[in-house]
Amino acid sequence: MLEQYRLENKLLRERYESLAKDYNARLPDYLPHHTKVLQPFVGFLNKDFGPGARVIDLGCGVGLNSCILNKHGFNVTGLDYSKNSIEHAKQNCPNTKFLHTDFLDWQPEEKFHGLVAGSFLDKFHPELLPEVFERLDSLLVYKGYGLMYVPTSKEESQKVDGSYNKKQKYNPYTALLERDNWLQHISKHFKVLEYYPGYGKRDFFISTFQKR
């Protein structure tokens, strides 16, 4: 399964490398929506940990969420497997640390007070989700907070035989991330604080949670 993931990951990485410039050009358009989505998470972090709290932004792309969190005074680290996206992120948010690496290969040196994983879970086959959530759990300090959202629009829910189709417009496993499925994974490791439907033109499942 891990080898299959790495093959599909390579294809996805190539896709995001080619789209990085376009995503970067649209970053200002997404700022209002993402600022709103991050508000509950920011509130929890400020209440318990305050400015300077360490936050990891998983699948940070061109740095949209990282820039917002940095402006709130958090110590943000962004991680993404797209080199082109990371280069844009460094320019968009020069005071933030960005890492070009794969999440499953990454060996963090410290724990974080908060994590953001936006449009992140749909990059993994469901059989890998237990390992992914174990790693997510290990990233947070006790009582640390997380924010996660997953795209669910019909347009993004096409899958071909459980594998990546190069003609497919979006990510391969979105269709398998039904609400009950990923909330069940979250609940095994974290206390779900809020759950609410999406924002903007695309549908999302959004959840804030806390490590027990």
Return averaged pLDDT per consecutive 10 residues of the chain, 212 residues in all. Answer: 62 84 94 92 97 97 97 97 96 96 93 94 82 95 94 45 41 56 84 77 78 93
Report pLDDT for 162.
40
Is the domain of 11 the same as that of 77?
yes
CA terminus-to-terminus distance, the chain: 29
- Regarding whether 99 and 132 lie in a shared domain, the answer is no
Residue 202's pLDDT is what? 55
pLDDT of amino acid 157 = 37
Q: Which amino acid, residue 90? A: K
Instruction: Answer whether residue 35 is part of any domain.
Output: no
Residues 149 and 201 reside in one and the same domain: yes
- Residues 66, 7: one domain? yes
Total structural domains in the chain? 2
Residues 99 and 144 in one domain: no
Do residues 20 and 82 touch, judged by C-beta distance below 8 A? yes
Domain interval for residue 156:
128-212
Q: Is residue 150 part of a domain?
A: yes
Distance CA 158, CA 172 (A): 7
136 and 206 together in one domain: yes
Judgement on whether residues 23 and 97 belong to the same structural domain of the protein: yes
Model pLDDT, residue 5 = 61
- Give the domain CATH number at 70: 3.40.50.150
Residue 144 CB: number of other CB atoms within 10 A?
A: 25
Give, in degrees to the nearest 5, the angle at Cα 167 between 166 and 168.
Answer: 90
Residue 39 lies in a domain: no
Together in a domain, 88 and 170:
no
Q: Are strands 75-80 and 97-100 parallel, antiparallel or unpaired?
A: parallel
Whether residues 19 and 87 share a domain: the answer is yes
